[in-house]
Amino acid sequence: MANPAEDSSIYYVPHNGWYPVVLAGAVMLTLTGLGSYLNATSAGGSGSLTQAMIGFGLVAVVLYFWYAKVITENRQGMANEALKRSYVWGMGWFIFSEVMFFAAFFGALFYARVLSVAWLGGEGAKGITGEYLWPDFESVWPVMSTPNPGVFPGPEQNMSAPASVAGWTGYLPFYNTVILLTSSLTVHVAHGAIKESKRAKLNLWLGLTVLLGIAFLCLQVLEYVEAYNHMGLTLGTGIYGSTFFLLTGFHGFHVTLGTFILLVQFLRARKGHFTAEDCFGFEAASWYWHFVDVVWVGLFVFVYIV
């Protein structure tokens, strides 16, 4: 009888399973619940998140069983080299699609900064727009006073980097940059530890990476609290607040995901799941982490500094 655990030439085709269809239903439950909540609250009422929570709980449960199954199969030796290559291709191109997701938001940022704000301020090829609509609006970035402050009151302060180097000592995004860059390094050292088969070293550096991820998130929460409570910078303060929060917010969401994925890898590492030859779960997580890090560098340059 053919058995992929004994014959590595066999491409493992999993048997029928309930995860995909239940996951699809759970996603629908989550999103329709979220949708009705948003519609209710935007209409001024009070919505309920119960359905969305149940849906999300179901998503989490399915994903737990699904990943557990894949890990078990892999540890039983079902996955041959070809299947592992499929995982590598899959993760790589998934990250590419994530890059394109952020590209849409960066595109919006550049379009606003280079074109639409300038035109609204009466500059450039379509400057007549501004002359007709809001002749008093001046084109500067960050936009501190929006074209129509009655609808979108501008922020009181923005997040741009301080001009002096001394000012950077109290500048949160600078510390966050240091934290994330360091965490890319620590996860790389952890990878080296797997390759050297040193489990204690792996646990130490991977655990450190997770802590750095959590530290980043704490600082970002602090930054948002600061923005909302003391700087008058919210989602509703025009195009600067919109791009700032959407870009940093979706990045923060990805850091949250990445930290969680690394935490799972940490728990797996403590169980001794990874060997020098077979550690793609860890490698995929670290690729994702490096990707999140690269996006941050782009954010730091184009949202905070330039």
Partner 1 sequence: MSEVIHTDHHAADYSVDQHAGGQHGPEKGLARWLFTTNHKDIGTMYLWFSFLMFLIGGVMALIVRSELFQPGLQFLKPEFFNQMTTNHGLIMVFGAIMPAFVGLANWLVPMQVGAPDMALPRMNNLSFWILPFAFGIMIWTLFSDGGGPNFGWTFYAPLSTTYAPDSVTYFIFAVHMMGASSIMGSINIIATILNMRAPGMTLMKMPMFIWTWLITAYLLLAVMPVLAGAVTMMLFDIHFDTSFFNAAGGGDPVMFQHIFWFFGHPEVYIMILPAFGIVSHIIPAFARKQLFGYDSMVYAVASIAFLSFIVWAHHMFTVGMPLAGQLFFMYSTMLIAVPTGVKVFNWISTMWKGSMTFETPMLFAIAFVVLFTMGGFSGLMLAITPADYQYHDTYFVVAHFHYVLVPGALFSIIAGVYFWFPKWTGKMYSESLGKIHFWLSFIGVNVTFFPQHFSGLAGMPRRVPDYALQFADFNMVSSIGAFIFGFSQLFFLFVILHGIKSGKPAVARPWEGARGLEWTLPSPAPYHSFTHPPVVTDAEVHG
Q: Per CB under 8 A, which of residues 116..145 are in contact with partner 1?
A: 116-117, 119-120, 124-126, 129, 133, 143
Give yes or no for residue 107 binding partner 1 (CB under 8 A).
yes
Q: Which of 112, 179, 292, 303 binds partner 1 (CB under 8 A)?
A: 112
Among 14, 162, 167, 192, binds partner 1 (CB under 8 A): 14
> Is position 48 an interface residue for partner 1 (rule: CB under 8 A)?
no
What residues between 167 and 196 interact with partner 1 by CB under 8 A?
A: none
Contact 130, 137 (CB under 8 A): yes
| 44 lies in the site for partner 1, by CB under 8 A | no
Q: With residue 31 as reference, give the H or E element that holds it.
A: helix 19-42
Helices 172-195 and 199-230 pack at an angle, to 10 degrees, of: 160
**Residue 159 in the binding site for partner 1 (CB under 8 A):** no
Determine if 49 is a binding residue for partner 1 (CB under 8 A). no
Amino acid at 109: L
Compute the distance between CA of residue 115 and CA of residue 125 in angstroms, rounded to an integer. 9
Determine if 114 is a binding residue for partner 1 (CB under 8 A).
no
Answer for which of 53, 181, 217, 246 binds partner 1 (CB under 8 A) is: 246
- Angle of the 280-299 helix axis to the 199-230 helix axis, nearest 10: 30
The pair of structure tokens assigned to 216 is 């980043």
Cα–Cα distance between 51 and 61 in angstroms, integer? 15
Stretch that binds partner 1, among 102-110, 261-269, 283-291, 293-301 (CB under 8 A): 102-110
Give me the sign of the Cα torsion angle 212, 217, 223, 229. Answer: negative
The single-letter DSSP state of residue 170 is: G
Among 179, 233, 239, 255, binds partner 1 (CB under 8 A): 239
Q: Return the number of the residue (159 or 269) whose C-beta is nearest partner 1.
A: 159
Task: Note whether 200 binds partner 1 by CB under 8 A.
Answer: no
CA dist 220 and 177 (Å) reads: 11
Q: What are residue 135's phi and psi, to 5 degrees? A: -60, -20
| Total number of residues that touch partner 1 (CB under 8 A) | 87
Task: Write down the least CB distance from residue 141 to partner 1, Å.
Answer: 9
Comparison of 80 and 203: residue with beta carbon closer to partner 1? 80
In whole angstroms, the minimum distance from the beta carbon of 200 to partner 1 comes to: 34
Q: Kindly state whether residue 266 participates in binding partner 1, applying the rule CB under 8 A.
A: no
| 9: contact with partner 1 by CB under 8 A | yes
Instruction: Pick the stretch among 77-85, 201-209, 225-233, 287-295 that binds partner 1 (CB under 8 A).
Output: 77-85
Q: Is residue 247 a contact point for partner 1 (CB under 8 A)?
A: no
**Is 105 among the residues that bind partner 1 (CB under 8 A)?**
yes
Sequence-ordered list of residues with C-beta below 8 angstroms from that of 248, at least 6 positions apart, any chain: 220, 299, 303
Position 57 contacts partner 1 (CB under 8 A): no
274-280's contacts with Cβ under 8 Å and 24+ in sequence apart are 274/194, 274/202, 275/194, 275/197, 276/194, 276/195, 276/196, 276/197, 278/74, 278/84, 279/191, 279/194, 280/84, 280/87, 280/88, 280/91
State yes or no: residue 240 binds partner 1 (CB under 8 A). Answer: yes
- With CB under 8 A as the contact rule, which of the stretches 183-191, 196-204, 230-238, 280-288 interacts with partner 1? 230-238
Closest CA to 248 of 106, 99, 95, 93: 106
